[in-house]
Structure formats: structure tokens, C-alpha cells
Amino acid sequence: MMSLPPRFFQHLLLLLFLSTYLSPAISAEDYKTFETKYTTIHYSNDKDIDKFIWRIGGKRLNLESDTTLAKYRIDRIMERVQTILDMHPEDMHIDIFLSNMYKKINKVAFYSYKKNAIYIVVDNANDGVLAHEMAHAVISSYFGTPPPAKMQEILAQYVDKQLWSDY
């Protein structure tokens, strides 16, 4: 009788956990949205979007009266990522889901190629984390078939280091 490696069971348990506990958090129907040129940000409450914008931009903004600066900041990060990678996919647009639920699996953020979406823990968000995950999205959109995960990770880490290097 063949025995299965312990890693198999770890992956199986992670898959079961994700499908059981996080699937409700992934549904876009329960979220409010904030649109920018390159993104649709999904969030469950106004505090989350306010905190997210503050954490990536360093300023508290009144989203009820003026969203221009917040949209500019998010789109500027995306444009900076594309410039660093020298990859400018046509019709670049991604979904970003804000939640603190992903803390349960010890993730700050992750990109889903299948859903073309970034999932990010609001409490841990910053411009570097967002740029890193945006790099995965840009790379995946630029190539018909995404390159191997290790290559993507190297490029995304390069974006981390170069994000504001010329400022």
C-alpha cells in the first residue's frame, strides 16, 4: 500500500480551510466598491477603505467629498509598477479585496491569477505590499501564460526595492 507524503496532507488541510472559511469573504456581492482607472476595490465598511488609503498614501482623505487623490495614489502605484517592469498590458484592470479575515492564514496579501484579484489585509497594507501584488497581476496579464511562480516572485521583489528609488 502506498503512503502519502505529509506535505500532501498539509496542502489538503490548507485547501479545505480556504474553501470553508474564506469563500464567503471572496464573494464580491457583499462588498462596497471604489473604482479607479486600473482597479475596483471591494470593501465591507468605510473604515477599511479609509484605513487602506491612509496606509498606502500616508494621508487621511475624506472619501465622501473628494476621491481624486485616493484614486490618483492607487493608479500611480500601478503605473509605477508597470514602468519598473517595462510591462504595459492592454486593458489592465484588477479587483482588490480588502479584509482582515486573511490574518487567519497568516497572509498579508496574495494575488489570485484565476480571479485576477488581490486580497489584502487592511491592517498590514502599505504601498510596497500593494505594489508587490500588483506586480504579480501585471506579469500575469502581460504574458499569455504566466511565467513560473519563482520568476514572478523575483520580479515582484524587484518592484518592492525599486518602487520609489528615484524619488
**In 10 A of CB 138, how many CB atoms?**
27
Instruction: Specify if 1 maps to a domain.
Output: no
Instruction: Specify if 15 maps to a domain.
Output: no
pLDDT band at 1 (very low <50, low <70, confident <90, very high): very low
pLDDT at 33: 93
Instruction: Specify if 85 maps to a domain.
Output: yes
**DSSP assignment letter at 146:** P
Cα gap 140→143, rounded to integer Å: 6
pLDDT at 12: 42
Residue 73: which of 134, 3, 31, 162 has the closest Cα?
134
Q: Could you give phi then psi for residue 35, rounded to 5 degrees?
A: -100, 140
Instruction: Specify if 84 maps to a domain.
Output: yes
pLDDT at 67: 80
Instruction: Specify if 11 maps to a domain.
Output: no
Note the pLDDT tens digit of each residue in 70-87. Answer: 899 999 999 999 999 999
Note the pLDDT tens digit of each residue in 106-165. Answer: 678 999 999 999 999 998 899 999 999 999 999 999 998 889 999 999 999 999 899 988
Residue 53: which of 41, 66, 70 has the closest Cα?
70
Contact 42, 97 (CB under 8 A): yes
Cα gap 101→50, rounded to integer Å: 17
Instruction: Specify if 18 maps to a domain.
Output: no
CATH number, residue 60: 3.30.2010
Please give the residue that has the higher pLDDT: either 54 or 81: 81
**Where in the sequence is the domain holding 112, given as residue range(s)?**
31-162
Please give the residue that has the higher pLDDT: either 61 or 13: 61
Instruction: Specify if 17 maps to a domain.
Output: no
Contact 41, 78 (CB under 8 A): no
* Average pLDDT in the chain: 82
Q: How many domains in the chain?
A: 1
Answering whether pTM is above 0.85, one says no
